[in-house]
Amino acid sequence: MLRLLDTAPPDGPRALRDRALLELLYSTGARISEAVGLDVDDLDTAERTVLLRGKGGRHRLVPVGRPALAALDGYLVRARPELARRSRGTPAVFLNARGGRLSRQSAWQALKTAAERAGLATSVSPHTLRHSFATHLLEGGADVRVVQELLGHASVSTTEIYTLVTVNTLREVYATAHPRALG
C-alpha cells in the first residue's frame, strides 16, 4: 500500500486528481462509487471529515487522514479549477478531462495505472484499498464495531471477514516469535 501511495505521479491536473483519489480511498475506506460520488460540499477540511453516501441511501461521516487532506488540497487548489473550466459548474470533487464527474471506470483505470507505475506485480482494485484500510485498522487495535461504522457495513458479520486476515497474521507472528509455538 505504501509503495502505491508513495510512488510519485507525473505532473499535471489529472495526476493530482488521481493522487487525491487514491489517498482518499485508502484514508477513508470509501467504495469507489462513494468516492466518485463526492461533491465539494461533502468535504469538511476544517473538521478533517468527509460525508460518504453508501449503499441503501445510508450516509456516514468518516475522518480523513493528513496525507489525504494534503493531496485533496493540492488537487482542489491547483488542478480542479483547470479541469472545471470545461464543465457547467458540476459540484463533483473528482472531475474528468471534460470537466464532468469522474466515472467509476476512469477511477479504476487511474488506480491500475498507479499500480503499474509503482511496479506492483499483484492485481490491485479499488476494493484492495478498502480492504487494506480495514485490515490495517484492525491490526492496529481498532474495535471491529468502529471499523464496521467506518466501512458503512449494515452487519458486523460483513466486517468480521477482515478479522480473518488479522487472525492469520497473529498466528504467523506467534509461530515465529513464541519459543514454544512449534512444540
Q: What is the CATH number of the domain that holds 109?
A: 1.10.443.10
Kindly indicate the confidence band of residue 164, based on its pLDDT and cuts at 50, 70 and 90.
Answer: low
Question: Residue 90: how many CB atoms within 10 A of its CB?
Answer: 15
Catalytic residue, chosen from 17, 19, 53, 153, is: 153
Q: What is the pLDDT of residue 71?
A: 95
Residue at 93 is within a domain: yes
Question: Is 168 within a domain?
Answer: yes
Q: Check pLDDT > 70 for residue 158.
A: no
Q: Please name the residues in contact with 169: beta carbons below 8 A apart, sequence gap of 6 or more.
A: 139
Q: Is 104 a catalytic residue?
A: no
Task: Classify residue 37: in a domain, yes or no.
Answer: yes
Say which range, 23-32, 34-43, 161-170, has the weakest mean pLDDT: 161-170
Between 63 and 180, the higher pLDDT residue: 63
Is 183 among the domain residues? no
Catalytic residue (one of 14, 53, 80, 130): 130
Which residues, in sequence order, are CB contacts of 111 under 8 Å at separation 6+?
18, 21, 22, 25, 124, 125, 126, 129
For cell 493522487, name the residue: 19
**Which DSSP category does 64 fall into?**
-
User: Is 26 tagged catalytic?
Assistant: no
φ/ψ of residue 51, rounded to 5: -95, 115
The single residue of 55, 58, 86, 145 carrying the catalytic annotation is 55
Domain count, the chain: 1
pLDDT tens sequence across 52-81: 998 778 889 999 999 999 999 999 999 999
Any catalytic annotation for residue 180?
A: no
Q: Which of 127, 145, 171, 178 is catalytic?
A: 127
Range of the domain at 89: 2-177
Asked whether residue 135 is assigned to any structural domain, the reply reads yes
Candidates 85, 88, 105; CA nearest to 97 is 85
* Active-site pick, 14, 17, 19, 31: 31
Active site residue 153: yes
C-alpha span between 73 and 150 (Å, rounded): 22
Cα separation of 76 and 45, whole Å? Answer: 11
Distance between alpha carbon 30 and the CA centroid of its chain, in Å?
A: 5
Catalytic site residue from 17, 19, 26, 162: 162
pTM for this entry:
0.81
Is residue 167 in some structural domain? yes
Least confident of 51-60, 73-82, 141-150, 161-170: 161-170
Q: Residue 182 falls within a domain, yes or no?
A: no
178 is annotated as an active-site residue: no
Q: Is residue 52 situated within a structural domain?
A: yes
The rounded mean pLDDT for the chain is 86
